[in-house]
Structure 1
């Protein structure tokens, strides 16, 4: 990394301030200096102390490293996120989470450049759709886009593999970041085409799986926004409705669910018909089943949720959306789920426990793999490798490699 000049630093500070639409007067108040001093900083006539740079980075929602790296993105996606959601600045937790995402996004871009990898966005299709006019319109668009993407990826109607791994294969970096409970995830798309999708670390592993599929919808359908935050308070927003419909159809395809329900001989009418044909005439045969044998029970939902890799809550809404359940039936089964019966049934049915730790490792697999590759090629130091590991809560990464006998020569002090 080449050291930047005072004049270049001044230019970057000015660009970052303007991108946030912050006045020199406000920056001066934060630093406790006259406005004229900020003006001199931004023209290169006055130096910037380390403490001042740190405070300005916080004010502009940047990492200090942004101002010192070889490349500088004037309108970065994190800045765009704060501009679109100014209320986030009032939450120190939200601010810290977004800054961490920004730092991860910057490191992903650096690793792409060091390893000379293709930018993620160049390999991902974009479904150009008109803006939905109604919620029903949004649902139809989301369902149709999910079906198209499943066909493109040759997924058929089978359950998805690990969603984070699937996104990684598309060149999208996935991470887990602790965020306010109302935030399920976010998407950052850099000007140079790097895509970072984050899910809320504090949420259940199955909810995170849905969140990754939801954010993938934004990458496919809303990428012109570059910075997208998925918050519970916006769930009625048409863009969010469309992304939720996409995620449900992508994870639990309609034909796949129908096939599973039919295999259970559930959700059908009590009267069944069959026609026999003897080359001359048709004989209609009718039979009846007890009505209560057609009811979808909680143990059926638990098995289906496990099959498709979703939560019982998501599965219940999907079954209702496909007309296998009425709202009254969904609500009744949801009540049983909330009492902990689903968890007990998982044990009775011999379904494996969900390994949250293993899931977290898979989420960060692409980022960690790029870091290790860069280290093995001598593109980054051992210290930098450990720094990247800490960003995804993987401490002592170089020591772990040494213990595993990987890159032994590179890991020695």
Structure 2
């Protein structure tokens, strides 16, 4: 291994890669130290960048962690540390109660975003999304700003005023955001960060109900549109007084997911067909139609003036049970598996694997899964299912690594 490669890399960057590789392997610092006959404090110093790693140690660590030496030493552009960016967000009242959990979540989030960028480099892809500019909000009341921004974005993206059933795909494919769905501490709904190198990055809590995940996506998108360079962590139930930025992001989420014109039209159609009555059952149906929670729908209908203010609180105080009502109406949300990685991320990883840029073990690491599941992902993305004339089903392999623009000789 060339010593020059080892000497030219920032020890702090190498330390972060070694720490991430160790954790991905499920090893503690003590276990890694024992395997190399080193003191635990030495591993700690290496991972902090306080001690340079020797060439033979890199080889041993790469073997222990199941990585290639070149992967650990590959040149990468220096990226801002998310931990520094999130420090302000974590200074809010109540956030310190989950500081350790939040630190780990931020670290995992950054590694995912950096891996996304690494996959783009392996594929030779230059990602230049055409982001909208930040919307000016200074001096504008929160409700007016949220309504204006939501309407502008729906118009820009050609969305009309119906439900957004493929919200994550919309933000990934049409806006160009990197959106992950990962396991986070229960109190953390989502994370948002933006850097010029990585672009807009969002993580939502995969453990939360589907309606909550969609709301968090829209909420974080609101931060991207209005305060792009301020990293944000959504911690549930920590505010005594909600900051204006959070009120704006929540108001935007409501306006974006449930546009006023669509709600009023649906309300009018129902009123005409029922002679003016409007029940809690219809609110449940509208919430199901827009794929939001019943509480979110009811509060939004109050906001646009369709329902009297305080309707949700009165129903709740009377013992109204949302899940019971949904089951009775046959509106129980289907439990669907949501992929952790963006679709484009998975395609880039499989493309790199097919091109020989990644080993099977490295592919599994990038996909945050085991080798068996990684092979299943490869088969899923590289085989087209065709129905033959005889009615038989055939699987046709697809080479995702070849250049389809190159003409045959």
When normalised by structure 2's length, the TM-score is: 0.71
Alignment of structure 1 residues 144-159 onto 2, 5 Å = 144-159=148-163
2:5 corresponds in structure 1 to: 4
How big is the shift at 1:159? Answer: 1.0
The answer to whether the 8 A contact 1:124-1:220 is kept is no
Q: Distance in 2 between matches of 1:362 and 1:10?
A: 30
1:219 corresponds in structure 2 to: 224
Q: Which of the two has higher C-alpha Rg?
A: 1
Return the match for 2:303 from 321, 328, 331.
321
Alignment of structure 1 residues 40-79 onto 2, 5 Å = 68-79=73-84
Deviations 1:169-219 (A, max 9, x none): 122221122223332111122331433211112211111001001111112
How big is the shift at 1:262? Answer: 0.6
Q: Distance in 2 between matches of 1:323 and 1:404?
A: 47
SS in 2 for 1:330: helix
SS in 1 for 2:229: helix
The answer to whether the 8 A contact 1:7-1:43 is kept is no
CA separation of 1:320 and 1:130: change in aligned 2, threshold 3 A:
closer
Return the match for 1:126 from 126, 133, 137.
133
2:185 corresponds in structure 1 to: 180
Q: Distance in 2 between matches of 1:385 and 1:142?
A: 41
2:269 corresponds in structure 1 to: 263
Deviations 1:81-113 (A, max 9, x none): 135426659643222222111110111111222
In the TM superposition, structure 1's runs of 4+ consecutive aligned residues that sit over 6 Å from their partners are 13-16, 41-44, 48-51, 407-410
SS in 1 for 2:87: helix
CA separation of 1:47 and 1:118: change in aligned 2, threshold 3 A:
closer
Provide structure 1 residue ranges, at least 5 long, that are not aligned to the other structure. 17-30, 55-64, 269-288
1:397 corresponds in structure 2 to: 374
Alignment of structure 1 residues 6-45 onto 2, 5 Å = 6-10=7-11
2:112 corresponds in structure 1 to: 104
CA separation of 1:66 and 1:404: change in aligned 2, threshold 3 A:
closer
The answer to whether the 8 A contact 1:160-1:308 is kept is yes
Provide structure 2 residue ranges, at least 5 long, that are not aligned to the other structure. 18-39, 62-69, 384-395, 400-409
Return the match for 1:356 from 327, 330, 336.
336
Return the match for 1:382 from 360, 368, 378.
360
Q: Distance in 2 between matches of 1:189 and 1:394?
A: 31
The answer to whether the 8 A contact 1:89-1:95 is kept is no
CA separation of 1:47 and 1:7: change in aligned 2, threshold 3 A:
farther
1:80 corresponds in structure 2 to: 85
The answer to whether the 8 A contact 1:82-1:89 is kept is no
Q: Distance in 2 between matches of 1:32 and 1:379?
A: 34
RMSD over aligned Cα, in angstroms?
A: 4.0
When normalised by structure 1's length, the TM-score is: 0.71
1:368 corresponds in structure 2 to: 346
Q: Distance in 1 between matches of 2:281 and 2:324?
A: 10
